[in-house]
Amino acid sequence: MAIVDTTEAPRLTNEREAPESLLDSERISVLAAPEFKALSHNGLRKGVRLEAIYWRVLEEAAADIGLSRNALVFKVLMLASADQSNATSVLRTFLIAYVLLKRKTDGREGAFKAMMGLVQALPQPALLIERDTSVAHCNESLAHLCGYKVDNTRHLIATAHISAAQSSDVLSLIDLVIEDKFSIRMHARLAVLSGPGEPYALGVVHGTEKTSA
């Protein structure tokens, strides 16, 4: 039988507030206050003492991963082969790593959304090309050019084969292959954008002609 803990970890009043707002003795004391919780999962039981802020992050990590808080704790400790003496150290390490990875992932998603917005705002047919030549995103103008309805642009599967120099000053020749069925030969200006993980190339189309795949 699991022990249900109803104590709610303290939360910041504003998730977007500046870091220096945490430099308050009362808030630091609350977030750093140690809390002991008796946890159980699948017949296993363990007492864990962590600072309040770690319990808060643990709840968020469990929700992201799709596990209960207790299940996540026992899984982390099992994977780390942690004994009673270093369990809290292992959990703190995992949670700090989770926060750093989350921040990095959120940054990538934000950068990609910004690039998608840039492409979508262009009146000319435009696309976002990944390093592996797959098309990460295209705007409504290009989707219409390919015979897709606006609502189906997210389902467009295409690769962009670039056969000329990638330069914003020179029109590049791109064969856009749509779902291996047909291709559109396009003349586009390319610009390299810094994106999540790898740079993307933004292609703004200035002329097209339909060809066979």
pTM above 0.85, yes or no: no
In the predicted structure, residue 37 carries a pLDDT above the cut 90 = yes
Quick: pLDDT tens for 64-83.
889 999 999 999 988 887 56
Distance CA 167, CA 171 (A): 7
Q: For residue 127, what are the CA distances in angstroms to 10, 174, 186?
A: 45, 11, 11
Q: What is the pLDDT of residue 200?
A: 82
Residue 68 and residue 41 in contact, taking contact as beta carbons nearer than 8 Å: yes
In the predicted structure, residue 203 carries a pLDDT above the cut 80 = yes
Q: What is the pLDDT of residue 201?
A: 83
Distance CA 143, CA 155 (A): 10
Q: Give the least confident one: 45-59, 87-101, 187-201.
A: 187-201
| Residue 62 burial class via C-beta count within 10 angstroms: exposed 0-12, middle 13-18, buried 19 and up | middle
In the predicted structure, residue 57 carries a pLDDT above the cut 90 = yes
> Going from the N-terminus, what domains does the chain have, and what CATH number goes with each?
19-111 (1.10.3990.20), 122-212 (3.30.450.20)
Q: For residue 42, what are the CA distances in angstroms to 36, 71, 74, 75?
A: 20, 8, 10, 11
Pick the closest to residue 76 from 97, 105, 53 (CA basis). Answer: 97
Quick: pLDDT tens for 141-200.
888 877 775 554 445 567 788 876 555 556 788 888 877 667 788 888 888 877 666 678
Q: What is the pLDDT of residue 2?
A: 32
